[in-house]
Each structure stands twice: as C-alpha cells, then as structure tokens.
Structure 1
Amino acid sequence: MFEKRTDLALEIRELHGEESGIDIEETEKNGITVTTANVNSSKGEELSGKPQGRYITLDVGKIWIAEPKRFELTAKTLADELESLLPKGEGCVLAVGMGNEQITPDSLGPRTVKKLLITRHIKKIDSALYTSAGFGCLSAIAPGVLGQTGIETAEIIKNVVNGIKPKCVILIDALASRRLSRLATTVQISDRGINPGSGVSNKRAELSEKVFGVPVISIGVPTVVDAATLAYDILEEHHGKEDSDFAQVIEKILSSEGRNMFVTPKDNDIIAQKTANLLACAINMAVHKMDIKEISEYID
C-alpha cells in the first residue's frame, strides 16, 4: 500500500479524518492560524508514527518576504507557543540543530543554532554579568549526521545531556510535508521529540524524553515534499480513484526512482536563512524572556 510521506501531524489527520485518533483544535493568534493536533490514542500513534502528545502547527506564511513588523510578530507568536512547553524553574536549555548543513533543505537546524544567544558559559564565567543582563541559560550543539560523524545523533545528544544535565532539550529539524502550500510556510512544535528522517523514509534512533531522561521539545519547518506523494495527491484530486488510467499512472510514479525524488523551493537558500532566523528569534525570546530589540544587542 502506498504510504504518503509527511512529518506533520496535521496532515496525518487530513489523510485519515476523525478515525485517525488525532483531535484537532484551531485558533487564531496575531493573524496566524494555530492548529493543535493531539495524538491521544494508540491508533493515532500507529497511523501517524508519532507518540501521543501535542503537535502545534503555525501557519506563518512566506516569512522570507515578510515585512520586519510582521516577522517580529510571527516570532513573538511562535515564542509564546514554545514557552508554553518549556519546563518551569531553574536549569539550562540545550538546543540541538539537527541535519546536514551542507545540504540546503536539511540545513535548518545547524543554521538556527548559529543565531542563538548562548549563555551557559557566561553563567559559569561571570555570574554577575549573567544576572544583571537577565539572561536565561541556553546552550547548543549541531551534531551533524551519521554519515559525517559515524555516530548516531541520539548517542551524541545523550552524552551531552548526561554531562551538562539540562532541564530540557529543544530539537530543531527540517521536516517533510505532503503539500506544496506548506513548504516553508508552516512551523510545527511538539512536546514529544522526533524520529529523525521519518518523513523521508530515513528513520534514525528515536529522540525523546524516554531516551534522554529530560523533556524534549521539537520545532521544525517542512522544507521538502516527497515527489511521489505530491504526484499521487494531484492525480487523485483531479482524476479520482475511479479513473481508468489512475492505477497505471500511480504504478509508474511509485517506481524506485520516483520514491527517491523530493521537491524543494528554488529559492531554498534565502528561505533556509530566513526560516532559521525566525526559529532562532523565537527560541531566544522564549528562553531569555527578551524581545527582538534586546536580543539584537547581543547577536546579529
């Protein structure tokens, strides 16, 4: 049976409807549609391939062409959603930039951590400065991918977590969508970690609280669409399942060559840069409790 590839819980609900075991709640904040998908049953886990939990999707639009005020408002809205998932109390946050920086659609994580206001070392070296500036405690790594390091990302993160004992981990990763309209225009936040590569059939070890022993939040933006999934959806929409040529066309699309193709925007360099800036701003604002102007005093 043909499996439509996606990392977005919202799209799993669209595929399977009310029988998916996923409940949907939609609100609007600052002109941004915020959809919360709650995976609340074992059936939802099975269909989505995601553990039970909350998956919050923000429809942020084409942020790479947004006016500065719109960008700032979007970052603040995203920061508020992220902050609602952060554990309360003292402790440091560890941000992890997942992915391969050498491949643009997979570079979101490493690009994002480069823009973070890292302060854990300041707290240790100059506690007076740390306190007077009102910083939160933030650290970050970009562990690369298995082919670059020979080490599973989960192993690297687990050892860092064991060493610095953060209060939580934020995973930043590029995602896969099934619709072109959601490419780089939506952000998904979850309180249940991720299974890296699941949307592109390149599954790696699970990254979750169960593995690391601390809460794990994931945040990502879809940067690719599986070509066969896209073609299937288009043909199904325009021809219908009863079309006499439908089965033949789909069989051709689902050849081994077709399953290795992905679609990404042609302006993906600037899009990757701008979406990374958005996520970095949101994380900085959520952790440090500062606005964009205050953050910009410390980082470009």
Structure 2
Amino acid sequence: MYQVRTDLALEAREKFEDDHVEVKGVIVKQEHVKGNMTVTKVVIETENGAKAMGKPKGNYVTLEAPDMADSDEDYHREISMQLAKILKELIPIEKKELSVLVVGLGNREVTPDALGPRVVDNMMITRHIIRQFGKYAFGLKNNHQISSIVPGVMAQTGMETLEIIKGVLEETTPDYIIAVDALAARSTKRLNRTIQITDTGISPGSGVGNHRHALNRESVGIPVIAIGIPTVVDAVTIVGDTMSNLVSAMEETRRLEGLGHSISQLEEAEKHELIRELLSPNLNAMFVTPKDIDESVKRLSYTISEGINMAFFPA
C-alpha cells in the first residue's frame, strides 16, 4: 500500500478522507482560535487505528498558522501562547515542580534540520541555578528545572541519539523529555506554517528516510513530548501536486483533454509510482525546502522556545 511521506498525523488522516475511507479508532477534533489559527487534535486510540495511520497510539495536536512564515512579532507571540497552552494540556506543569530535559534534535550545520539545536539556544535553562541557589531562586510558585542537550547526528558523533540521551538520563533523571525536530510535510502549504505536538515521542531522521531508534516512553522510561515544524517536502510530492494542477487546467481549458482524463484516472499510488519512475534515478530521493529557510528557522526557533518558556515560566 502506498504511504504518504509525511510526519504530520493530520496529513495522514486527510489522505483517508480524500479516499473516502473511515479509520476506526481515530478521533479528530478541530478548533479555530485567535489569530486565524486552527488547532486540530488527532487521537489514535486503538492498535488498528495506529496500523492504518502508520503512527503510534497517542495524541497529535497540530497548530496551523497561515501567516507563520511572516515576521509579525505579535502574531508569533500568539503562536507561542497557543503552543504553551497545548503543552500545559499534555504535561502537568501547574500541579507540581518538574525536571524537564529539552532535546534539540537535528544537524546544526544543515539549515532545514537546525530547528531543534536553535530552539535549545533560546531556552531558559534553570537546572543549574536551582541546584546551586535553591528552589526559590526565581521567586515563582513552581520552579521547574529545565536542562537541555543537542546530541547532534550520527555522522557527527558516531552514536545513536538514543544512546547519548540515555547516558544523560542516568545522571539527571528528569520527569519529562521535550524533543524538538524538523519534520517533512505532504503539502507545500504547511511548510514553516504548522507545528505538531505529540505525546508519542519521535524517530529522529524519519522525515527524510533516515530511521533511527525511536525516542519515546518505551525506549527511555519517561514521557516524551515531541514538537516539530515541517521544513522540507518530498520532490515527488511537488511533482504530484503539479501534475494534479496540470490535469485540472487541461480539463478546464479542454486542451489535451484526453491526456488529462487518462492521468486523472490513475489511482494515487499508481500516479506516485509513475512520478518516481520519471524522476529516477537522480531526483526521487530529493527533498526541497523554501529559499528563505535561513530566516524562517531563525524566527521559528524563537517562536517555539518562547512557547516552551511561557508554559513553564508564565509572566
């Protein structure tokens, strides 16, 4: 069966909607919030639902902000506030003092993959201060101990990300892990405009086909909250979208109508297989990112780090 190349549970669910297929054991709730933003919650409740979606059981919250690519600081603050609200729903932040390890996944030297490390750069790190000066160092009701690590990628360290993190966990014993990583999307309209938050953990590098050991509750023994923004899209996806637009244009203008009709009759899996054959051998493994990705990653890293900071240290 053909699987859409995407890290977003929302897009995986939309694929079934497009095919008019109902997925049992999967609940979807959508809410429109301030700032022209949409929050969609996808809850995978059963093993059958997880198998159909190709994702583990758990909660997947997607925050879509169409203007996230813009540099409006007030708008990005609204996004950070929504992110903080979602995190508070997944982590008992207000009930007790927590020790949290923030993990910046990705390669700092590759801009589309540098989101995680740059988020860590902007985090409010408190563990060392609280351990030295006591729990009232910041004068807050709950003084959460926040620590961070950027484990790099295997090509840099020769070690699995999970191996490095397990070593840190033995020494620091946090209550939660928040892992931040760049993702891959199915739709170009969601690049740098969507944040996914999930309590199911993450598999580093899965978006571009580099499958590593999963970072989740089963592998590390504590809850793992994953936050990601899609920064790349599969080249096959772009060609597929272009082909669909071309077919629509052919049918509307009645130019090469027969060819357009023939292509439109192909099933989704057949169409993508055709595209892969046309792109092979040089382009079918290519991922594409927007031309302004440098500025986008810099801006979005602040947005995510501020959301995490707001959740644990409200003003």
Normalised to the residue count of structure 2, the TM-score between the two structures is: 0.85
What code does the residue aligned with 1:29 have? V
Are residues 1:201 and 2:219 paired? no
> What is the correspondence of 1:175-254 to structure 2 with a 5 Å cutoff?
175-236=183-244, 238-239=246-247, 240-242=263-265, 249-253=274-278
- Structure 1 counterpart of 2:49: 44
CA drift of 1:253 comes to 3.6
SS at match of 2:277: helix
Alignment partners' CA distance in 2, 1:47 and 1:224? 24
Distance 1:186 1:278, change over 3 A: same
> Aligned pair in 2 of structure 1 residues 233, 47: CA closer, same or farther (>3 Å)?
farther
Q: Indicate the residue corresponding to 2:306 in structure 1.
A: 281
Tell me if 1:82 matches 2:87: yes
The correspondence of residues 159-178 of structure 1 with structure 2, limited to 5 A, is: 159-178=167-186
Between 1:184-193 and 1:76-85, the stretch displaced more is 76-85
Rounded to whole Å, the distance in 2 between the matches of 1:100 and 1:82 is 25
1:234, distance to aligned residue in structure 2 (A): 3.3
Tell me if the contact between 1:116 and 1:281 (Cα under 8 Å) persists in the aligned partners: yes
Q: Cα offset for 1:64?
A: 4.3
Which deviations, in whole Å up to 9, do the C-alpha atoms of 1:128-161 show, x marking residues without a partner? 6624256432110000001100110011112212
Aligned partner of 2:257 in structure 1 is none
Match of 1:260 in 2: 285
1:34 positional shift: 0.3
Q: Distance in 1 between matches of 2:273 and 2:60?
A: 36
What are the superposed Cα offsets for residues 236-260 of structure 1, whole Å, 9 maximum, x if unpaired?
45435426x9688524345242221
- The more displaced of 15-24 and 1-10 is 15-24
| Offset, 1:194 | 0.9
Residue by residue over 1:208-239, the C-alpha shift from the partner in whole angstroms, topping out at 9 and shown as x without a partner, is 01111111100000000000122224324543
Counterpart residue identity of residue 214, structure 1: I
Shifted more, 245-254 versus 92-101: the winner is: 245-254
1:119 is aligned, of 106, 118, 126, to 126
1:110 aligned residue (117, 130, 141): 117
Give yes or no for contact 1:122–1:129 (8 Å, CA) kept in 2.
no
Aligned residues: 290
Q: TM-score, normalised by structure 1?
A: 0.89
RMSD: 2.2
After superposition, the C-alpha distances for 1:64-110 in whole angstroms (9 at most, x for unaligned) are 42422222112111111112111342221110000000000000000
| Farther-moved stretch of structure 1 (76-85 vs 228-237) | 228-237
The sequence identity of aligned pairs, in percent, is 40
Distance in 2 between residues matched to 1:183 and 1:86, nearest whole Å? 27
Task: Tell whether 2:166 aligns with 1:158.
Answer: yes
1:50-89 to 2 correspondences below 5 Å: 50-87=55-92, 88-89=95-96
Ranges in structure 1 where 5+ consecutive residues have no aligned partner = 291-300
Q: What is the deviation of 1:62?
A: 3.3
